[in-house]
A and B are shown apart, each in its own frame.
Chain A
């Protein structure tokens, strides 16, 4: 028998939790290709690069310790992101009080489809990253997962443990907030908004 199996009176307890020895090389081959993606998301969700490094290291250690639970052939990237966000939310719960989150939600409620921020024609990397920093984390993480990491709505819902409808509303509000922040950042640097000409309405 590979590994150990808990036994009682000569019968397996039903929890075959001891597995055969896992090779660190196998883990690295499956998990390390996603290092850049994990670091990118982490660095855009925490304040300092050093925090992102620590966070990503913890994700890999956690994943390695639990690697026997990972089913080879399934989506390793999604699994690593689930660990990343689980740790991130754990940290965040300690830092952010619920009242602050509600304040963000209230703010977001004010964004509606009628408000369409003007966006500069040419968007500089620094401007959009600065604008992104001002988007509350609840919305920022969904925008990043959808627009940068190309996760589907369903994958985002599973990773963040939120309903599909919440993914859609957070994404919509997050994108809108990003545009609004971008318009403000661009305004600060004297960049003219894009050619948001006077709206002609529907021409159909």
Chain B
């Protein structure tokens, strides 16, 4: 390798643009300037030729990496033995099995009809949190490898929800808050306040969404409540655990692939703090403007069903 000493600023500038030129990413005007320089500069022209040679050699060599004949057949076979997810990765039967197990533990002695209604209701509500976690955090991978700075997260959340950042971070010991934003899932006007954290070798979401008249059945399918003053609901769906709770105006969800016990501990810590932060402000005349604005913002973003 040799170290070149440019005697021309123009050469240096053109060489900085050669990568973009090779990738056809330069503006037309800049491309013309580069071409003009290359016509008159043998050294830069040779440098471009060298880079092109490597690029073409890589393309040629890479085409040798052909899939083995059996791979297509293997995929074909596996696709036919796998059902597409009807909902965000969970088959309806999985819901039924998971919720039936949940129900047996939680609601022994309840009348079947009442239980069945409660079960469907809990499933519907918990579905909201799981769908956003899977869509945004897991499949969308909408978080950086290195945590965004708190001020940037605050800007993304807006003044409405920025105040929740320290609450979430404090109640997730051992987790690093990577991302926070407002998001949605396809085919739904519903907005989610989404916090994404990394810790314990996994990604965890804390999700809030405005209640739209739905409710979780207090006294039914309840798995915790007394110690925190907030009712908690949980479900284990394939590899994903979800713990849900409700405040006066919001549903809250903690979602990850951690064990259910760990999830319930985190949710038990988060739920009362978030309830206080959300309802404590939104429900009083002297509420902070930020949280009052939050309600307006979510409502104004909601479409018509």
Contacts and interface: CB of A to CB of B under 8 A. Distances in A.
Interface string A129-144: 1001000000000011
B62 A118 contact: no
Given A15-B128, A56-B71, A202-B6, A175 B54 contact: yes
A1 interface: no
Contact of A129 (B16, B61, B186): B61
Given A125-B64, A203-B43, A204-B40, A15 B188 contact: yes
Contact of B54 (A64, A94, A182, A196): A182
Contacts of B44: 202
B88 A17 contact: yes
B86 interface: yes
Determine chain A's interface SS by DSSP, over half rule. Answer: helix
Given A202-B7, A202-B11, A56 B124 contact: no
B205 to A, nearest CB: 16
In this complex, the interface size class of chain A, counting residues with CB under 8 Å from chain B, is 35 or more
B227 interface: no
A168 B25 CA distance: 10
A58 to B, nearest CB: 10
A179 B121 contact: no
A114 interface: yes
A32 B77 CA distance: 13
A195 B214 CA distance: 74
Interface of A: 3-4, 6-9, 11-19, 22, 24, 27-28, 32, 35-36, 39-40, 43-44, 49, 53, 56-57, 60-61, 64-69, 82-83, 86, 89, 94, 113-119, 121, 123, 125-126, 128-129, 132, 143-144, 146-148, 152-153, 161, 168, 171-172, 175, 178-180, 182-183, 194-197, 199-204
19 contacts: A6-B127, A11-B305, A15-B128, A17-B187, A22-B84, A24-B80, A40-B65, A65-B84, A82-B141, A116-B1, A116-B2, A123-B54, A125-B60, A129-B61, A147-B55, A153-B25, A179-B51, A195-B46, A202-B43
